[in-house]
């Protein structure tokens, strides 16, 4: 009869696991802020492109109806005008900004016929970096 030797499996020690966790924590500490910064910039760029799209859509509405919509939701519904060539957007709802808020629409605007804007990540007027306000008139 042949006696089989069982090979003992060596498990990880607590110290080895702690070293791995510390290394992963250090990597995340170095890479995490850079990734979050890029995510914030991407949201700001997305908001800029959405506000410009909404601006172009409002201008198309104006060309057909000779008046600006009273609110952005009017781009989706027929105002009962024979001149209306809409709907001007093929979505069910006006998109929200990348931070989950509704885009703000002022008619008349401060220096323009209308303003479409978002307050950014901080959801308050003003701000810098990722918290900066985004307007349809930004270049």
Domain locations in the chain? 53-139
Residue 2, pLDDT score? 57
Per-residue model confidence (pLDDT) at position 55: 92
Instruction: Read off the pTM.
Output: 0.70
Which tokens in the block code for residue 134? 């985004």
Please count the CA atoms within 13 angstroms of the CA of 119 that sit on its side-chain side: 9
Angle at 28 between CA 26 and CA 31, to 5 degrees: 110
Residue pair 100/15 in contact by the 8 Å Cβ criterion: no
State the Cα–Cα distance between residues 25 and 109, nearest whole angstrom.
48
Does residue 94 contact residue 55 with C-beta atoms inside 8 Å?
no
Mean pLDDT by 10 residues, the chain (139 residues): 63 89 91 79 89 91 88 82 76 88 88 89 75 79
The pLDDT score that the predictor gives to residue 115 is 92
**Which CATH architecture best describes the domain 53-139?**
2-Layer Sandwich (3.30)
Nearest of 62, 88, 61 to residue 76 by alpha carbon = 88
pLDDT at 90: 82
């Amino acid at each position: 009869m042949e006696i089989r030797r069982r090979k003992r499996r060596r498990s990880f020690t607590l110290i080895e696991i702690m070293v791995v966790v510390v290394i992963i924590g250090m990597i995340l500490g170095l890479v995490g802020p850079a990734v979050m910064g890029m995510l914030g910039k991407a949201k700001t760029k997305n908001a800029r492109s959405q506000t410009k799209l909404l601006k172009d859509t409002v201008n198309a509405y104006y060309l057909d109806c000779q008046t600006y919509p009273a609110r952005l939701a009017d781009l989706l519904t027929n105002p009962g005008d024979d001149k209306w060539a809409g709907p001007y957007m093929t979505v069910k709802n006006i998109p929200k900004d990348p931070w989950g808020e509704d885009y703000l629409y002022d008619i008349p605007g401060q220096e323009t016929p209308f303003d479409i804007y978002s307050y950014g990540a901080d959801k308050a007027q003003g701000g810098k970096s990722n918290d900066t306000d985004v307007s349809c008139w930004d270049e």
